[in-house]
Amino acid sequence: MSSSSLNIPSTGALDLVSLGALVHRLDPGVIPFHKALECQIHVSGGEFNVAANLADCFRLNTGIVSAMVDYPIGGLIAERVRAMGVKSFYKRFSHNGVTGPNMATVMSDRGQGVRPPWCSTTAPMKPPLS
């Protein structure tokens, strides 16, 4: 087996295997990012969410096939995958210490109703189009 191969058992012991990207989402809650002083980190990805919730809610044996970068953020993501009871099958990549590769980052606040367009506090807002 080559070093680029995934080590997936042939016994068929999993109820579901998802294939997709893992991301970490930065969430300041209801505070907009430009006003936030702190945020929570959530691990997600559409395919992972399916596997994690089937494992957590229905106790199914699930797995995720994804890329993984060997650096601290990758370690955080891998820990959360394990915590949800999802078996991982990673194609591993080394981080070069400067430019990556990196795990995807999503920044999303929850929002609470309509907000004005974001503007820098150092530049005046443009008048609305008529």
Q: Reply yes or no on domain 16-107 having CATH 3.40.1190.30.
A: yes
pTM exceeds 0.85 for this model = no
Positive or negative: CA dihedral 77, 79, 85, 86 = positive
Domain boundaries, the chain: 16-107
- Check whether 123 has a pLDDT greater than 60: no
How do residues 81-104 score in pLDDT, each as one tens digit? Answer: 999 999 999 999 999 989 889 999
The more confidently predicted of residues 120 and 12 is 12
pLDDT band at 130 (very low <50, low <70, confident <90, very high): low
Query: Over the stretch 33-57, which tens digit does the pLDDT of each residue have?
Result: 888 899 999 999 999 999 999 999 9
Strand 62-70 versus strand 86-94 pairing type: parallel
Dist. CA 91–CA 66, nearest whole Å: 6
Cβ within 8 Å of residue 15, ≥6 positions away: 54, 60, 61, 62
- Eight-state DSSP code of residue 56: H
